[in-house]
Amino acid sequence: MLHHELPDAIDLSHHLSKVARARVISPLKELQKYLGRSDIISLAGGLPHPDLFPVDELSANVYSQDAFPTEIPPTKPSLVSWITRLFSGRDQNKWDKLKVPRYPKQSGDINLATLLQYGLSTGSPQLQEFIKEFTSRVYKPAYGNWSILVHAGNTDGWMKAVMTLCDPGDVILTCEWTYPSAVATAHPLGIKPIPVPIDGEGMRSDALFEILSTWDEVERGAKRPRVMYTVPVGQNPTGATMHAQRKKEIYKNCVQFDVIIVEDDPYYFLQEGPYVPRKDRPVYAKANMNNEGFLTSLVPSYLSLDYQGRVVRLDTFSKTIAPGCRLGWFTCNPLFAERFERQGETSTQAPCGFGQAVVASLLMNWKFDGYVRWLQGLRAQYRERRNFCLDCFGDFFELEARSTASTAIYDGYIKTKPIQPSNKWTEEFVHREKRFPVFSFVPPTSGMFVWLQINFRDHSSFGRLGHKNLERRLMKEFAEAGVLIGPGFFFDPNMLDDANDEGPGHFRLSFSNEDFAVLRKAIGIMATVLEAFFYGGDRL
């Protein structure tokens, strides 16, 4: 085992919150640990008899691991072909039937008598075993005694991390734009965000160093941050993905300033790769990638750099199986894992047994290789969606690419239109007093989101209304035209505390959920709304 060659986690117990320190082992649960012994009769727990559970057998029709192809061949750029090809690779015959009986046929079988019973908050042993193998082989933690522990999804995991690591009055490091629920979890507990500037790869390591090295406790009114919240892949909301080098720089800063990194990574397997505009995409299908090639193609997790045990990684099945699983896991040092387990005992207990039954039997059916194969298929589906979405922007706007040192940025202009509607382009365009990009974006290489920066500075009412007012008005105009998009202020970490007008304005658009034709329709509506908003005269 590689583990034995790696160092153990260093002592990070000084990071535990007062609440976490005050937790004791639930005495009834302690007793429950004896329950597995075959020579003991237990009259200790208040457990119903499993014969009285009304569910005798649970079964599920599920996709096979290879229900979706790993690469989708390119097609001509017609909408019809997109729609007809939608999920074209899915073979309707590729089904498996899972069955979970009330009682196991042989020892180790997944069964309802156990999963629907009160259980340890560590969850089903079969699921634990799978997760342990998966974490070891995919994320390759750089220390020896890492632990895994199930939770009820990353929102639950983050809440447990906050309560275990932070005291009221503490501050946490976040990206300049961040997932609002993460802030909403910490805020009522008296814990405030410190936004760190970002670029196309997410959090900037130089900006982080600046904040940590110049921290003035008196001026800031809080101790130097000890905890960082980060979504390093397909960041929410910006879609940015951080590569190994940047992660190394940030990890080094965190070692120097003793910061715990909470890596919330739901989009890790949706690494779609660089966007190539439709006209430049190769017309041949790529060769199928094998599992090893797929895993090697993914940016490394912070875990793979973590030789000290200061990363709390949050994984979830929400994007890889379904959000309704409410099931995920921590990977972290054993001290934190034990405190999370204690917290679980007095809140969520074990994750739902029905969910565990389906997920565990699905994973045991697929096995490690099958699940990785499934993730490949999923990545290809999201790549197709990302491509389609950005292609639609190309169709409805004039997109111009420019590059910074590391990333391409696309500027979107309102399309020039022929004066006379015509089937072919003419040289006679609508006259515009001023041509300027109405938005710009970095094409996401992972995840579900496009983060549009809106160029309100060129709006005729900018001087009077400013960024935030224009953002709110544009949100309303989109909604009235029938399209709901998340406005940038939702993702401002300090939204809850102040209402400054610092720009620029943004919208987060998700390409993950709507059907392709609807997505295309929505982007068309956006083009109409944006044209009227910027060129329709001062109606605001």
What part of residues 374-403 is at the interface with a copy of itself (CB under 8 A)?
Answer: 374, 378, 381, 385
Which positions ≥6 away from 516 have C-beta within 8 Å?
A: 79, 82, 83, 86, 385, 388
* Residue 10 within binding range of a copy of itself, rule CB under 8 A: no
Under the binding rule (CB under 8 A), the answer on residue 436 touching a copy of itself is no
> 487: Cβ–Cβ under 8 A, 6 or more apart, which residues?
471, 472, 474, 475, 505, 506, 507
DSSP 373-419: HHHHHHHHHHHHHHHHHHHHHHHHEEEEEEE-SS-EEEEEEEPP-BS
51 counts as binding a copy of itself under rule CB under 8 A: yes
Using rule CB under 8 A, residue 225 touches a copy of itself = no
Q: Is 346 in the site for a copy of itself (CB under 8 A)?
A: yes
| DSSP assigned state of 321 | T
From the list 438-446, 461-469, 515-523, 527-535, the region that binds a copy of itself by CB under 8 A is: 515-523
Give, as ranges, the residues between 310 and 329 that touch a copy of itself (CB under 8 A).
Answer: 318-319, 321-327
Of the candidates 445, 496, 443, 336, the one whose C-alpha atom is nearest the C-alpha of residue 15 is: 336
Question: According to CB under 8 A, which residues from 105 to 134 bind a copy of itself?
Answer: 112, 115-119
Tell me which amino acid residue 308 is: Q
User: Smallest distance, Å, CB 142 to a copy of itself?
Assistant: 30
* Stretch of residues binding a copy of itself (CB under 8 A), selected from 30-38, 254-262, 279-287, 436-444: 30-38
Q: Site for a copy of itself (CB under 8 A): which residue of 13, 59, 81, 213?
A: 59
Measured from the CB atom, the residue of 100 and 208 that comes closer to a copy of itself is 100
Q: Does 514 bind a copy of itself (CB under 8 A)?
A: yes
- Residues 272 and 101: their CA atoms lie apart, in Å, by 38
- 421: tokens are 């509607």
Min separation Cβ 460 and a copy of itself, Å: 26
Kind of pairing between the strands at 311-316 and 328-332: antiparallel
CA distances 8 to 3, 318, 438, 520, Å, are 9, 30, 52, 51
262 neighbors 227 (Cβ within 8 angstroms):
yes
User: If binding is defined by CB under 8 A, does position 46 make contact with a copy of itself?
Assistant: yes
Out of 265, 306, 315, 345, name the contact with a copy of itself by CB under 8 A: 345
The reply on whether position 463 binds a copy of itself by CB under 8 A is no
Helix 516-535, helix 462-480: angle, nearest 10: 150
Distance separating alpha carbons of residues 368 and 444, to the nearest angstrom = 28
Q: In sequence order, what are the residues at sequence separation of 6 or more whose Cβ sits closer than 8 angstroms to the Cβ of residue 74? A: 281, 282, 283, 284, 285
In the complex, least distance from residue 318 CB atom to a copy of itself, rounded to whole angstroms: 8
Q: Residue 230 Cβ, how far from a copy of itself at the closest point, in Å? A: 16
Q: Which of 5, 39, 219, 427 binds a copy of itself (CB under 8 A)?
A: 39
Establish if 522 lies at the interface with a copy of itself (CB under 8 A). yes
User: Which of 10/518 has CB closer to a copy of itself?
Assistant: 518
Contact assessment for residue 459 and residue 534, using Cβ atoms and an 8 Å cutoff: yes
Contact status: 95 vs a copy of itself (CB under 8 A): yes
Is 490 among the residues that bind a copy of itself (CB under 8 A)? yes
Binding flag, residue 19, a copy of itself (CB under 8 A): yes
Q: Nearer Cβ to a copy of itself, position 403 or 513?
A: 513
Residue 95 β-bridge partners: 63
Contact with a copy of itself (CB under 8 A) among 141, 153, 195, 202: 153
Out of 152, 212, 262, 305, which residue is the one contacting a copy of itself (CB under 8 A)? 152
